[in-house]
Amino acid sequence: MSLVSGLTSQSTSELALDVQDLCWQVDSRSILSQISFSIKRGQMLGIIGPNGAGKSTLLRCIYRYIKPDSGKIQLFGQEITHLSSKAFAREVAVVLQDTPHHFELTTAQLVAIGLTPHKGPFELTNAADRILISDALEKVGLTHKAKQSYEHLSGGEKQRALIARAIVQQPKLLILDEPTNHLDIHYQIQIMELLHSIGITVITSIHDLNLASAMCDSLLLLEEGKCISYGSPSEVLTEQAIGEVFGVCSHVTPHPQHGNPQICYYYGYEKGYDKGYEPGHENSHEKDRQQSQLNKNGSASLEDSGHG
């Protein structure tokens, strides 16, 4: 598959983000190599890949925490390096996994920080701001925690509060690093649906491939800092790619509701299933599983016992 799909041939005015040939290295070790992709306005791009593939590093380049060695990053047609810090903060909100402690703040006060790029130095919070804050808290299900100390929230509640802060910031591009970490399945789905519905362009790293498939318009699959594939969830999430990049055997079918890939993973890697599996041979896995159970019970082989 071409690494640069039809998305990049869109007219630049349709593009929220355009990344071309991005490279970054540390101590002569290449961390990101020749990464190119783009996102159309209002769409959600998921960055997927194994641990250490370079997902967070790519996001850090986009939100200007890291300066790439080469390549271009354009936000709505403008080089990101040309924007002042304040202009950049008005355009881009970032939700990270690890955030500094905010011991002294209530949840509502933390969410109000999102207003900062839109305020003058001594400008106070007004009635419209308060509506914005309470709407955002309601969207993430935290209205009842507004006055509670942010530090006393659970991990998932903190994550939702940070997303509320990003919503209050009213960015044009929202960058999230594994936003569903810490969230239970209800909030994983709810937060991803919320991000998808608010009309903001979103780029997010995400480990859950089924969630990425359901929610993202396009996916970028990274491995060892290189783009392995880029395109729609159906183009990227193939059994072959999942096997080659993650080393996991899977069976991919269209999801009954949304039609994008639904991945069923196979288990038993300690027994070496990953080495012999070919798609369509699900029964042999079932046979192995049963054999394993028999072994645990001190019984003979499946053949001896009349199975299979």
Ligand X SMILES: Nc1ncnc2c1ncn2[C@@H]1O[C@H](COP(=O)(O)OP(=O)(O)OP(=O)(O)O)[C@@H](O)[C@H]1O
CB of 265 to ligand X, least distance (A): 17
Confirm or reject binding of residue 247 to ligand X (CB under 6 A).
no
Give the residue with the Cβ less far from ligand X, 52 or 308: 52
State the number of binding residues for ligand X (CB under 6 A): 10
CB of 26 to ligand X, least distance (A): 4
CB of 176 to ligand X, least distance (A): 12
3-state secondary structure of 68: coil
Amino acid at 35: I
Q: Judge contact between 229 and 221, C-beta under 8 A.
A: yes
Confirm or reject binding of residue 290 to ligand X (CB under 6 A).
no
Give the residue with the Cβ less far from ligand X, 26 or 264: 26
Give CA–CA dist 208/191, Å, rounded: 14
Give the residue with the Cβ less far from ligand X, 53 or 136: 53
Confirm or reject binding of residue 31 to ligand X (CB under 6 A).
yes
Name every residue whose Cβ is closer than 8 Å to that of residue 262 and which is 6 or more positions away in sequence. Answer: 210, 213, 252, 253, 254, 255, 256
User: Mask: binding to ligand X, 36-55, rule CB under 6 A, as x and -?
Assistant: -------------x-xxxxx
Confirm or reject binding of residue 56 to ligand X (CB under 6 A).
yes
Confirm or reject binding of residue 57 to ligand X (CB under 6 A).
yes
Q: Provide the residue count of the chain.
A: 308
Give CA–CA dist 176/55, Å, rounded: 11
Please, which of residues 178-217 interact with ligand X by CB under 6 A? Answer: none
Instruction: For residue 250, give Cα distances in angstroms to 204, 233, 246, 292.
Output: 24, 15, 10, 20
Q: If we measure between CA atoms, which residue out of 102, 116, 99, 114 comes closest to residue 150?
A: 102
Give the residue with the Cβ less far from ligand X, 54 or 114: 54
Rg of the chain in Å (alpha carbons): 22
Give the residue with the Cβ less far from ligand X, 55 or 285: 55
Pairing relationship of beta strands 201-205 and 78-79 according to DSSP bridges: unpaired
CB of 123 to ligand X, least distance (A): 36
Pairing relationship of beta strands 173-177 and 92-95 according to DSSP bridges: parallel
Give the residue with the Cβ less far from ligand X, 59 or 192: 59
In the complex, the residues that contact ligand X under the rule CB under 6 A are 26, 31, 49, 51-57
